[in-house]
Structure 1
């Protein structure tokens, strides 16, 4: 027993070193991307909340959707490259075809999210919101599609496993592009409503042209049926996050800081959960976890938990700096409750991820296929509830 205990302690020590050397830099990089998008959200939060409330309903779904859609595309391209089914070049016709397929897969859940928002009474400027989310999805999907292709193909050509680098970079770029693209369309509406609509119609026309050039066939769309069903189901589940965000947008705005760091919070919770899900899945497949309370199974969780205070504190400090730089507003001193509670929220997400991965595996469901997108989506729901609770603690109400 003493030998086992010593082995666990040594493993934990090594895991902590790995967490700070490898995982912490990637988490911090992802945090910067999320805070960039959050700056746009925070600065224009009141405009979105009062003039385009439907965007708040669909925002969590859009953020999660792009990571899931293009993360799976990166995985598909990686497999195709290794099998020789894809030339390691952006000029390969399959690249454009795959991007168009991913656009189509993204648009349908977006339309459903918008329709749910309208059906639940969020109807102010509903048609403009529809144009914003559809055109933004087309443009961002096009950029993100070629970015995903470039990262996957470039890493493959350099002899690096694309699976090791593509997914986190794609998710970070999705966070980087999502909120700014929505805000830019809002600014265009305010500057020239007619110009906004003309631009949208031009983009829709060009999308039809590109889809025709790519020669996407019905059978190829049906090949992605499983991906489509999964991401659509998760997108619909994200309406929980969107509804909570829209309902409590007033108290979130009153806290000032939380509207700025909201995307970064959701992104980091999803990252911590996904990392634990992936590590747990690997250990389960290798037979290293014999039971739910296996001590070695929790070394990854404890190691990553030690990085949470660093991420939480720097997130808050950078967020405060961005608030003062872009708005000149003062952040309530009670904002430090976020830094104090953030590590324990991360711990909850990681324990939840481990539990979901473990029991999916025991039910003969591969966690690699289900756990990560499910946990990413659930982390958005938990994260949005967390933001509301923090806002209430900070400003009352």
Structure 2
């Protein structure tokens, strides 16, 4: 008992900030979930849209989660400054996030169409996928840039540990902003009064802009923006492919989700909370590695296991909350839902499976990228996000089957 009290006392700052950010992340993620719940008719009309939704939300969280992690590391290392002057950490990260957003949105649209063809799913055209991806992604990213800067500046002024607050807040913000943008853009595309030639022109312009941005970055020499971009692209490409696989898993069980919209509502806060937990853990590991507090050993040490324990505490809190909140919101909106006990069991069982996997992945991905002389801030969060989305969806669907909900 005294050891447990000591554990909570040592990490009281982590818990005080972490619980608040996890609470915000979980509850705000419900807004995204409700949007997805209301999209059941649209998903039935455009089933391949799920192949774009999961990577679009995930990429937004990965790009801006990595920004938050880099800013957190900069604060720990004493290199962060409240300035947008050329060469400042803040400006370099904002510039890189905009470029990555546009480039990866074009890639996502193309990959989603290719996946639909490979899987034999009837879908909208390539230029429509690109239009939805870029328009929805860019609009949501502009909001996330502002939020990221506000979080960084506020955290810096109040001497908060950004590793404990950035990932949950940015993940939640990414969910709540991206989903409605994708929804609205999709409605615009399938609107019979929308001219197809106009969408074609816009999609061509988006592709040209993406190519020009790539050339702009690659021509920059010994620049932090170029370094982040070059190191992030391979990871994000792998990420998109994995996220499309996650989307296909949900798409395969679409009938069950449409029959019980509460399950669809739970998907977003469930994956968002899993990503928040992974973001907090990888951000902390990244900072520990940079500061020399964590040694990249094959067997995790005491510091790593203590952080695993912190993650489990956050996880139990988050997933019980998600089960209760989803059931409550579904009842309030008049959407079909399993009983409260079943919703809590679904969220908690799938959540604990996901948390166990993310603890292992977070540690080994962090030390692997560090050993390869890569920046864990640029690679760990995107990789952990994509992998957790897939494993999280697998755990979620498997638990649904286990509980007899499908």
Q: Could you tell me how far 1:67 is from its partner in structure 2?
A: 1.6
Q: Which residue of 2 aligns with 1:134?
A: 134
Structure-2 change in CA distance of 1:312 and 1:280 (3 Å): same
2:121 aligned partner: 122
Give the alignment of 1:239-318 within 5 angstroms.
239-283=244-288, 285-287=292-294, 292=299, 294-318=301-325
Matched with 1:338 is: 346
Alpha-carbon distance, 1:83 to partner: 6.9
The TM-score, its normalising length taken from structure 1, stands at 0.79
Counterpart CA distance in 1 for 2:316 and 2:82 is 44
1:371 equivalent in alignment to 2:380? yes
SS across alignment from 1:118: helix
Write the distance in 2 (CA, Å) between the matches of 1:170 and 1:375: 15
Change (3 A) 1:356 1:11: farther
The CA RMSD measured in Å over matched residues stands at 4.1
Q: Structure 1 residues 288, 242: CA separation in 2 closer, same or farther (over 3 Å shift)?
A: same
Pair 1:360 & 2:359 matched: no
Matched residues in 2 for 1:206 and 1:345: separation? Answer: 43
Match of 1:65 in 2: 59
Structure 2: how far apart are the matches of 1:236 and 1:155? 34
- Structure number with greater Rg is 1
- Range that drifts further, 277-286 or 106-115: 277-286
Tell me if the contact between 2:144 and 2:174 (Cα under 8 Å) persists in the aligned partners.
yes
1:320 Cα offset (Å): 1.5
Cα distance between partner residues in 1 of 2:23 and 2:244 = 28
Offset of residue 288 of structure 1: 6.8
Question: Does the C-alpha gap of structure 1 residues 15 and 265 become closer, same or farther in structure 2, counting only changes over 3 Å?
Answer: farther
Is 2:44 the partner of 1:44?
no
TM-score by length of 2: 0.78
Q: What runs of 5+ residues in structure 1 fail to find an aligned partner?
A: none
| Partners of 2:142 and 2:188 in 1: CA distance | 20
What SS class does the counterpart of residue 298 from structure 1 fall into? helix
Instruction: Return the offset for 1:40.
Output: 0.6
Structure 1 partner of 2:182: 182
Q: Count the aligned residue pairs.
A: 387
Secondary structure, counterpart of 1:124 in structure 2: coil
Distance 1:309 1:93, change over 3 A: closer
Distance in 2 separating the partners of 1:301 and 1:291: 16
Q: Is the 8 A contact 2:260 2:337 kept in 1?
A: yes
Task: Find the aligned partners of 2:381 and 2:273 in 1 and give their Cα distance.
Answer: 14
Structure 2 alignment gaps of length 5 or more: none
> In the alignment, is residue 25 of structure 1 matched against residue 20 of structure 2?
yes
Question: Is the alpha carbon distance of 1:347 and 1:204 closer, same or farther for their aligned partners in structure 2, counting shifts above 3 Å?
Answer: closer
User: Does the aligned pair in 1 maintain the 2:167–2:280 contact within 8 Å?
Assistant: no
Match of 1:391 among 383, 397, 400: 400
1:53 and 1:291 mapped to 2: Cα distance? Answer: 43
Q: Secondary structure at the match of 2:388?
A: helix
Whole-Å Cα distance in 2 between the matches of residues 389 and 273 of structure 1? 21
Displacement of 1:38: 0.5
2:21 paired with 1:12: no
Aligned partners of 2:54 and 2:247 also within 8 Å: yes
C-alpha separation between the residues in 2 aligned to 1:68 and 1:343?
20
Residue 351 (structure 1) aligns with: 359
Shift of 1:394: 4.0
Q: Distance in 2 between matches of 1:61 and 1:239?
A: 6
